[in-house]
Amino acid sequence: MVTSSAPGKVYLFGEHAVVYGEPAVPCAIERRARVTAEEIDEGLVVHADDLQLDGFTVEYVGDDTDHPDVDAENSLVEAATGYVNEAVAQVRDAADAPDAGFEIWIESDIPLGAGLGSSAGVACAAIDAGCRELGVELPRAEIADRAYQVEAAVQDGEASRADTFCSAMGGAVRVEGDDCRRLEGVGNLPFVIGYDGGAGDTGELVAGVRELREEYDFAADTVEAIGDIVREGESVLGTEDTETLGELMDFNHGLLGALGVSSRSLDTMVWAARDAGAMGAKLTGAGGGGCVVALDETDAALTALKYTPGCDEAFRAALDTEGVRAE
């Protein structure tokens, strides 16, 4: 039995636009998904009983997510098992063991579907744990690539490499198309996260932006403008100029709102953080609900978020420089 873990992430800049080849800068945070894998004779059994929903256990055997033991009303449960299912396919391929069976346990301190990279964390940790259980140790770059295949398969091809590369490698990273690299010299940024207790459907949100972009030139221009923000942000990243970083985060949030991926609760948390003096605040990830990330060196934004109606949880998150690892 082997356990591996991989970090979640926040997007400093660039979600959604990264799907269309613009650059993005996600940063791994010290909140992890843990996956334990044990080889069994055949099939797949998944237990996922600590994913910060209402507490659930999934026991499912087979090769699709329609097993009757999966609560069909809980799409997040289906999603979690869907990612594990694809991750196990990657493990079988990587280890050249097409018939390997697995019992898998998922635990996570990253809320599911909330913009903190839970699916990428689960995919990376599942691939690493499954492979190690079969005696195969993959380099992190290969885990990143295989985890990307997992996300692309589950999200019908609507995925960039950003989440999975960040979770596999750790630290702050830059992703532009297939060009993925770690950004060295980025110190700890004073991230504060607000979580509304909800989740967005990444596939649907990405499809919504795609439609807008196809319908209106100004939506396509908005996506490109997000790319410009990322390029501008890169020039100050690693310097002391957190004020400019914050300003660019605010701008990025405005453009994501224009693309229709913010929500009332995300906007409320963004404004609560800004009103409390945060240098900048934006939604993180696919949007629709879930998390915002603010830059704040004092505890004012953290405290304000804790008392903001609609904010379920607020916490600080430090940069995690370590990617996927065996526990």
- Residue ranges in 136-175 that form contacts with ligand MEV under rule CB under 6 A: 159-160, 162-163
Backbone angles phi, psi at 297, to 5 degrees: -80, -25
Can residue 110 be called a binding residue for ligand MEV (CB under 6 A)? no
Can residue 32 be called a binding residue for ligand MEV (CB under 6 A)? no
User: Among residues 206 and 245, whose Cβ is nearest to ligand MEV?
Assistant: 206
Shortest distance, CB of residue 9 to ligand MEV, whole angstroms?
Answer: 8
How far apart (Å, rounded) are the C-alpha atoms in residues 66 and 69?
8
In this structure, what token pair is assigned to residue 60?
A: 């499912």
Interface with ligand MEV (CB under 6 A), residue from 121, 194, 285, 290: 285
Can residue 18 be called a binding residue for ligand MEV (CB under 6 A)? yes
Catalytic residue from among 163, 196, 250, 296: 163
Can residue 286 be called a binding residue for ligand MEV (CB under 6 A)? yes
Can residue 15 be called a binding residue for ligand MEV (CB under 6 A)? yes
How far apart (Å, rounded) are the C-alpha atoms in residues 240 and 52?
35
State yes or no: is 163 an active-site residue. yes
CB 122 within 8 A of CB 84: yes
How far apart (Å, rounded) are the C-alpha atoms in residues 66 and 73?
12
In this structure, what token pair is assigned to residue 203?
A: 């596939």
Q: Which residue sits closest to ligand MEV, CB atoms considered? A: 160
Can residue 109 be called a binding residue for ligand MEV (CB under 6 A)? no
Interface with ligand MEV (CB under 6 A), residue from 4, 8, 16, 213: 16
Instruction: Please report, as a single letter, which amino acid is at residue 314.
Output: A
Of 285, 311, 308, 301, residue with least CA distance to 121: 285
Give the chain's end-to-end CA distance (angstroms, integer): 11
User: Among residues 120 and 276, whose Cβ is nearest to ligand MEV?
Assistant: 120
Shortest distance, CB of residue 41 to ligand MEV, whole angstroms?
Answer: 35
Can residue 19 be called a binding residue for ligand MEV (CB under 6 A)? yes
User: Among residues 134 and 233, whose Cβ is nearest to ligand MEV?
Assistant: 233
Of 196, 197, 170, residue with least CA distance to 183: 170
- Residue ranges in 184-243 that form contacts with ligand MEV under rule CB under 6 A: 202, 206
Can residue 124 be called a binding residue for ligand MEV (CB under 6 A)? no
Shortest distance, CB of residue 49 to ligand MEV, whole angstroms?
Answer: 24
Specify burial of residue 99 (Cβ count, 10 A radius: 0-12, 13-18, 19+).
Answer: exposed
How far apart (Å, rounded) are the C-alpha atoms in residues 239 and 258?
29
Shortest distance, CB of residue 118 to ligand MEV, whole angstroms?
Answer: 9
CB 229 within 8 A of CB 13: yes
User: Where does this chain touch ligand MEV (CB under 6 A) — which range of 13-21, 71-79, 98-106, 290-298?
Assistant: 13-21
Q: Coil, strand, or helix at residue 298?
A: coil
Residue 13 bridge partners (DSSP): 25
Shortest distance, CB of residue 10 to ligand MEV, whole angstroms?
Answer: 10
Q: Which residue has the tokens 């979770």?
A: 167
Size of the site for ligand MEV (CB under 6 A): 12
Can residue 111 be called a binding residue for ligand MEV (CB under 6 A)? no
Angle between helix 162-169 and 118-133 (nearest 10): 50
The residues of the shown chain that bind ligand MEV, judged by CB under 6 A, are 15-16, 18-19, 159-160, 162-163, 202, 206, 285-286
Residues taking part in catalysis = 163
